[in-house]
Amino acid sequence: MAKPPTIVDVAHMLGVAPSTVSRAFNNPRILKPDTVARVLAKAAELGYVPNRHAQALTTGRSGLVGLVIRDVSNPFFARAIRATQREAERLSLNAIVVECDSDADREQRLIDRVLPQVEGLVLASTRLSAARLTELSRRTRVVLVNSDLAGFTRVLASASEALDQGIRLLAGAGARKLAYVGGPPYSWSEAERWGTVRRVAAERGLAVTYVSANMGTYGEGRAAAVSIAEAEVDAVVAFDDVIAHGVLDGLTILGVRVPEDVRLLGCDDALPIETHPRLSTVRLDIEQAFVTAVRALAEGSVSGQRILVPGVLTVRETT
Amino acid sequence: MAKPPTIVDVAHMLGVAPSTVSRAFNNPRILKPDTVARVLAKAAELGYVPNRHAQALTTGRSGLVGLVIRDVSNPFFARAIRATQREAERLSLNAIVVECDSDADREQRLIDRVLPQVEGLVLASTRLSAARLTELSRRTRVVLVNSDLAGFTRVLASASEALDQGIRLLAGAGARKLAYVGGPPYSWSEAERWGTVRRVAAERGLAVTYVSANMGTYGEGRAAAVSIAEAEVDAVVAFDDVIAHGVLDGLTILGVRVPEDVRLLGCDDALPIETHPRLSTVRLDIEQAFVTAVRALAEGSVSGQRILVPGVLTVRETT
DNA sequence: ATGAAAGCGCTAACAG
DNA sequence: CTGTTAGCGCTTTCAT
């Protein structure tokens, strides 16, 4: 692994100053076009590539953003990672992905570790307290996704409107008793979804049973099917698709037919596989949300604005 | 965002040399314990954190490794990302994740972009040619996962043995005609799995039909069910679980019962959800594979060794 | 339009 | 044990 050529090597070979080489890359317009061409040609010939560490040291810009998520195995985050990376790429940035397991202390620790290398952080469904976030935002740029804290720039992938539509659809089909299978407590998404379900159900005069699936796993969803069957509801709204599929499987095992006996609505639409019957869900525009977040980071707008990205109701076979 | 304190600030406040502060962090044993304590205390008081860009510039070590994968939405890679990140964390490294869509040119381009910032690269199922990889390995450390190129350090998550067992199980249960639904062509995993299926089938005197699912999607698996049903096989081995579930769904739609009419075996065991009936599969030790890869990178062993990590047959309800 | 020189924050000889 | 002194490779005034 030979030591790569530096800006000085290129300069010497051409009999120009190192600063000229630097300018050929960063500010070519102030140079004579011919000079730029010669520098670029020689650089290519030598295989010169700017040393990002040196650049970072002088400019303070590392070209890195951090993406902090809870759980890589949740398909929601696959779409999040992809969108973040694509947008970063477009902005000549790279993304560091950090998984923190819904554990605030671990999250803080990992953030402290990446902090010195990144230009900014996208925090998805963070568990950090407002105080810690305020402290953090003094050290780096921060954009929140799916956390609604005033004062911070935040992007919210909202299911509310689509969920409203979905419940009206359920009610229109004759549903009178509803179950909502909730996800991670204290998260903004959970608050929004449960809030919407409760409100719309009340408006329509539907009864609602709350069943919890705190960790948001498939197994919890399947276990929840038991209480759901006991409650004799006509429809189930699940926090997300993973839970919804658990419920679907659990219900099937118990001999409850979907959608004939019970209708089922999920949320996210991120699974790499479908099932039979195909799950009706709220398709969240996760890509849009994370692209927006990365852009806000890059623009460095300390705007503190609140951006809502609505999902759309996607009716398939379980409603 | 105030400018953070530097090593010089800490040194001045204590009346010691900057190098002493540096040593208190990097080589405390050569310092008087009392000195170390004073430096660390003052550093903590000022909120001093080493500037990684400066460190990277002087030492040449950025504390970053790159993980290059094909497709974040494939659950295989969720386990890969998690394992890589955990092991990196343990080694005081951070991981940059890059998704390249099974496209060699895009892969090369993205690699060139991260190259200047990383200490090494883990390439999972790379599409890069041996020539390009050789060229790459002159510029940075490279460890391959699921690519078997002599001369490179490589870790292979092998399904062969477990698949062999699985097929014998299928044959023991009376299967005579087999279908194999293949995944991404030219990949090592595909070659290994298809090779094993063909070999073991021949040994046992089973007929084998090859059906392809090049992109490895659920939809292709479901589509493949048609040819599978036509071929009137008794058992199906799928390249991975995503495809297997597509096949399962497709077969169900066609009225073919699993496992009563056709038995089904997947590979990977990485899905965040289960289905009904639960899929029998080969559980790959993806964590072990990527942990090993990261460690090999960090150790910088230019060993070029070939490490096999076997999977285990996991019998559930479809065989 | 280009060169010279200083400095980003840190580490690593080399002294003592 | 600790201080002094050079850089690492690049950008950026300030000159010319």
Residues of chain B in contact with residue A53, where contact means CB-CB under 8 angstroms, are: 53, 56-57, 62, 116-117
In this complex, the residue with its CA at the shortest distance from the C1' of nucleotide D12 is A19
Protein CA B18 to sugar C1' D3 (Å): 9
Is B113 within 8 Å of chain A by CB? yes
Is A74 within 8 Å of chain B by CB? yes
The model's pLDDT over B139-154, given as tens digits with 9 standing for 90+, comes to: 999 999 999 999 999 9
Please answer yes or no on whether A114 and B99 come within 8 Å at the CB atom: no
Residue A2 is predicted with a pLDDT of 76
The domain in which residue B20 lies consists of 7-59
**In the structure encoding, which two tokens stand for residue B113, read together?**
């972009």
Confidence label for B216 from pLDDT (cuts 50, 70 and 90): confident
Protein CB footprint (7 Å) on chain C nucleotides:
1-5, 7-13
The model's pLDDT over A278-301, given as tens digits with 9 standing for 90+, comes to: 999 999 999 999 999 999 999 876
Confidence label for A306 from pLDDT (cuts 50, 70 and 90): very high
Residue A301 is predicted with a pLDDT of 66
**Residue A46 pLDDT > 80:** yes
Same domain, A138 and A170: no
- Measured CA to CA, the distance from residue B92 to residue B83 in angstroms comes to 14
Is B101 within 8 Å of chain A by CB? no
Please answer yes or no on whether B72 and A82 come within 8 Å at the CB atom: yes
CATH number at residue B49: 1.10.260.40
Residue B18 lies in a domain: yes
Q: What percent of chain A has pLDDT over 90?
A: 91
Least trusted range by pLDDT, from A78-87, B101-110, B283-292: B101-110
**Residue bearing tokens 């869509």:** B101
Same domain, B153 and B296: yes
Nucleotide nearest to B8 (CA to C1'): C9
Same domain, A167 and A274: yes
Q: Once rounded to an integer, what is the mean pLDDT over residues A109-123? A: 96
Mean pLDDT for chain B overall: 94
Is A96 within 8 Å of chain B by CB? yes
Please answer yes or no on whether A52 and B116 come within 8 Å at the CB atom: yes
The model's pLDDT over A52-66, given as tens digits with 9 standing for 90+, comes to: 999 999 999 999 999
**Residue bearing tokens 């090494």:** B120
Residue B1 lies in a domain: no
Task: Please say whether the beta carbons of A218 and A250 come within 8 A.
Answer: no
Query: Which helix (H) or strand (E) element contains residue B227?
Result: helix B218-231
Counted across chains A and B, CB pairs separated by less than 8 A come out at: 147
- The reported pTM is 0.94
Residue B301 is predicted with a pLDDT of 66
**Residue A276 pLDDT > 90:** no
**Residue A269 pLDDT > 90:** yes
- Measured CA to CA, the distance from residue A281 to residue A319 in angstroms comes to 9
In this complex, the residue with its CA at the shortest distance from the C1' of nucleotide C3 is A17
**Residue bearing tokens 């890969």:** B80
Protein CA A31 to sugar C1' C1 (Å): 6
**Residue bearing tokens 């969108």:** A83
**Residue A93 pLDDT > 70:** yes
Protein CA B37 to sugar C1' C9 (Å): 22
Residue A129 lies in a domain: yes
Is B139 within 8 Å of chain A by CB? yes
**Residue B250 pLDDT > 80:** yes
**Residue A196 pLDDT > 90:** yes
Strand order from edge to edge, sheet including B94-99:
A306-310, A153-158, A141-145, A120-124, A64-69, A94-99, B94-99, B64-69, B120-124, B141-145, B153-158, B306-310
Q: Closest chain A residue to B79 measured between Cα atoms?
A: A73
Residue B183 lies in a domain: yes
Same domain, B179 and B251: yes
Please answer yes or no on whether A72 and B78 come within 8 Å at the CB atom: yes
Q: Closest chain B residue to A251 measured between Cα atoms?
A: B276
What contacts B294, CB < 8 A, 6 or more positions away? B65, B83, B84, B87, B88, B91, B93, B122, B143
Q: Give the E-state strand segments of chain A in sequence order.
A: 64-69, 94-99, 120-124, 141-145, 153-158, 177-182, 207-212, 235-238, 263-265, 281-283, 306-310, 312-314
Same domain, A136 and A249: no
In this complex, the residue with its CA at the shortest distance from the C1' of nucleotide D6 is B58
Protein CA B20 to sugar C1' D5 (Å): 14
Protein CA A2 to sugar C1' D9 (Å): 16
**Count: domains in chain A:** 3
Same domain, B164 and B279: yes
Residue B274 is predicted with a pLDDT of 85
Three-state DSSP class for residue A80: helix
Same domain, A238 and A175: yes
Task: Please say whether the beta carbons of A141 and A121 come within 8 A.
Answer: yes
The model's pLDDT over A203-261, given as tens digits with 9 standing for 90+, comes to: 999 999 999 998 888 999 999 999 999 999 999 999 999 999 999 999 999 999 999 99
**Residue A180 pLDDT > 70:** yes
**Residue A191 pLDDT > 80:** yes
Residue A318 lies in a domain: no
**In the structure encoding, which two tokens stand for residue B82, read together?**
């998690």
Residue A1 lies in a domain: no
**Residue B223 pLDDT > 90:** yes
CATH number at residue B135: 3.40.50.2300
Same domain, A277 and A175: yes
Residues of chain B in contact with residue A56, where contact means CB-CB under 8 angstroms, are: 53, 56
Residue A2 lies in a domain: no
Is B73 within 8 Å of chain A by CB? yes
Same domain, A71 and A217: no
Q: Closest chain B residue to A134 measured between Cα atoms?
A: B1
**Residue A302 pLDDT > 90:** no
Protein CB footprint (7 Å) on chain D nucleotides:
1-5, 7-13
Same domain, B107 and B47: no
Same domain, B206 and B243: yes
Residues of chain A in contact with residue B75, where contact means CB-CB under 8 angstroms, are: 73, 75, 272
Is B134 within 8 Å of chain A by CB? no
Same domain, A140 and A170: no
**Residue B3 pLDDT > 90:** no
- Measured CA to CA, the distance from residue B129 to residue B141 in angstroms comes to 16
Residue A31 lies in a domain: yes
Residue A280 is predicted with a pLDDT of 97
Is A6 within 8 Å of chain B by CB? no
Interface test with A, best of B1, B6, B53 (most A CBs within 10 A): B53
Residue B103 is predicted with a pLDDT of 86
**In the structure encoding, which two tokens stand for residue B109, read together?**
């381009």
- Measured CA to CA, the distance from residue B120 to residue B141 in angstroms comes to 4
- Measured CA to CA, the distance from residue B69 to residue B91 in angstroms comes to 21
HEC readout, A200-227: HHHHHCCEEEEEECCCCCHHHHHHHHHH
Is A257 within 8 Å of chain B by CB? no
Say which of B74, B98, B139 has its CB closest to residue A272: B74
